[in-house]
Structure 1
Amino acid sequence: MIQTLEDMIKRFCAYGLVIKDSDGFTHDSCTLIPALELAYKTSIHASTGKTPAMLEKGWNSKLPVDTLNKDLVDIHPNSSILKLFLDKVRQNENQSLNDSFEYAKQKWDKSQKTPNSK
């Protein structure tokens, strides 16, 4: 688990300390680490078949945008922009998580020796 977190943070920080969204706004990647934590805690792990949040707390965390009713009128014009940005951040973090899982798997597979069948 620690190796996965380390790989995830390395891949996340590889984008640089400043992240620019599609509208040209810049965001400090350090302020997005809680979103990275949420992506990790709500991702299903292959070894357990459950999310770390489910194993630790018994329920999955949700972002405020998960609870928004799509039929309601936007209260603030920037709320839809924020939702799109958070969705992109979540996709980026999930991709980083998947990349780190794959990297850890490849590293583990390379370190294993094939048994002699003599």
Structure 2
Amino acid sequence: MRTGDDRAIGQASLRTLALFAAQAQVSYWVVPAARGAHVAARATRALTDWAFRTVRLHRVFLLHSTANPASCRVALDCGFPAEGTLRGHMLHADGWHDMHVHARLSTDL
């Protein structure tokens, strides 16, 4: 995702790709100036669709801090229903965070 002047405004990527299990984690971020324009949702939808159709994954999941409601809205907007909470799962600069888990299956399409 880039602006017209070739500066990055965010990213979406597959992490923890496990081909043997046909699953991966998707992650995204957007610079503050580009937030609110649905950049993360558009990129996440495109990447997830590609992962299902081209890589033939069965499951794509994402994690976000329970303290980040905007990321939760992105996940839900992209068709990733919430599955649960991982307590004290990730260390951020301000301490340990509980993380929400969201996932889509290829059969959800």
Whether TM-score is above 0.5 comes out as: no
More relative contact order in 1 or in 2 (CA 8 Å, sep 6+)? 1
Q: Normalising by structure 1, report the TM-score.
A: 0.22
